[in-house]
Structure 1
Amino acid sequence: MRVVTGSRWEEFAEENSALFPEYRKNRDELLTFTSSLKGNETVVTSSLELIDLIAWRFRKGEENVLIYSDTGKALTLKEVYELRKYLDFDVRGGFSGEEARTSVLFVEGKTDAKFFKAVFKKLFEFKESRSAPRNLRFIERVFERDNFDLLRREGDNYYLAVIPSEGNSGVIRNLGNFLRAMDVFDFRVDRVGAAIDVDEDRESALASITGKLSGFKHEKTPLGYRVGETEVVPLIIGLPFEDELIEWKKPTVEDLMLHLIAREGLLDKVKPGLRALNESLGRKLKPKEVMYLALSAYGHWGNLEGFYELFVMRSRFRNLKAVLREARLMEELSYLAGMEVGGRR
């Protein structure tokens, strides 16, 4: 199966190609058309709805591809399916406008996204943005989703996108697909961060990132790896929190929050309640359960993601920086925020 998009489609159309079959068809008719395909056709289209239907049906098999005619390069339909599902990536291409210096940070989940969003706002002068530069237009719609955030620093017009990715494997998946899409659709971002938890050890976590990069020509840099004109920056989250009242098993972003609420004095305030709950339940509370207790004690009536963002924004600069330095994340976050190695913009 070949799907062709872009403005130079005539160069890839064959004599029996289906040309823009979406014309004057509703969804039921598009479903019928997709069901009639055998897998050896070429379909030229500008319909995301039709692309979604074809990509879902033919997502298995390396021979099933989408060709972006403006560059002549191709993605597998599996890659297209994942780019559409997880990043709302517009595989029709053709965006214009000015590019800007930009970073993208893939994180595991919603709480991670709000934590790091608040860090960038608190420490690096970013504010939320409603408009995207050309090099983020391909995923502009994704920022309409909850917890997908686009930030901009007014001083130097630097953009930063924070994107939750459904766990460690989701971060690695999005990283690989995004790098492939940049090549096929001929756009660039300056830096891409991949924030994952230490499931076993730092070396194993880093290996999952370098394993994905093995499919690309890359070279080592002081903080990560260069793929073409883009630098990939790993952020390995692993800062154990030891307390006799809390059951800690493996590193997560909750560890960073535990260290922060401890430095800010909130943990001490909830410890009497923590002891009482441990005795009542006959077990120690897990880190995320402790965070719900802290949320209540703080008087926040929203969800956990909102609490993380609010608490980070209201925390003392020195405490937040101390936690990030102890976690060995400060230099990488500064770099993703547009700073050079050493802290200069």
Structure 2
Amino acid sequence: MEDGPAAAAAESRTRRGTRSGRAALAVTLSVLAVLLLLSVTAGLAIGSVHVPPGDVWGIITHALGVDRSEPTWSRARETIVLTVRAPRVLLGAVTGAGLAVVGTAMQALIRNPLAEPYLLGVSSGASLGAVSVIVLGVGAAGPASLSAAAFVGALGSLLVVYATARTGGRITSVRLVLSGVAIAAMLTAVTDLLLLTAGRGHEARAVLAWTLGGLGGVDWGTLWLPSAALLVGIAVLLVQSRNLNLLLAGEEAATTMGLDVARFRARMFILLSLVTGILVAAAGPIGFVGLMLPHIVRLFVGGDHRRVLPTAALAGAVFLIWADIAARTVAAPMEIPVGVLTALCGGPFFLWLMRRDARRHADGAVA
């Protein structure tokens, strides 16, 4: 007789916990959405030429055809907002969101808190492709040659990593990671060799600027590909969020629940590497975003990937927009590569994360 009321009370507590969790997630996403809107406004307004926020949204609504009144701003400000800053700010949002989402999924697939989007050598392949265009002067695709070569390099490195990691028709995560590290080292050596044997000295500065990552030089014609990659990546990962949650419990538990772990990991690694390659081709290898943001987000929404993925996407977009604002303004009129600032933020975080992970293993060994 007592089991009935006890079970009902437990079920009621579970429902209340679920409702409170959903409410907390809704509040978190709403706050981040507002922060993203404010960040986009700041990114469009702040720079060498300050544009008032009222003019920023007046220009945007006028360009979209919402506001048909006579413009009160100059043509120069309109060009700055729509042609120079808007593509850059949107690329920052897309790249930040994409790297944060890829990092979240990679940490679940590897089951390692130190995993990040460039783990499989994709950034090294992209860097080799981009450096080849800069040093050899190959520009068959015009202004898009750099991004095209970077993507081809990223895709090529991915294929080589999978070919070397595959033995006996199977790919394990350990072999995949080790292959990625080895291939990345070799590609980096080839990149350095190309740079050292280059005949023109100014190429070193161009290569260094690209490898540090940056959002400058983007235009509306090249923005669609990273945006499409982000949407496809988030959609697939949200559909697969349950399987990502199963991996957190371990491979044996996931297999018991009916998940083909090897096949699932292989498919996810391919998807994540392609998304990362497209983002690197568009913005260069911007580090630490995919390492930091997933851990920060989990402090607020827990470990369920149905909550972590959308929250990480918004947080990553906000973070990289503000990093780019700082890169444009801290040393103005000189621009700092945004990858330098993300590294300055991410380096101490990485060290703290390693120490925390080491303490957890030590405590577990003592227990």
TM range (shorter): under 0.3
Taking structure 1 as the reference length, the TM-score comes to 0.22
| Higher RCO (CA 8 Å, separation ≥ 6 residues) | 2
More helix by share: 2
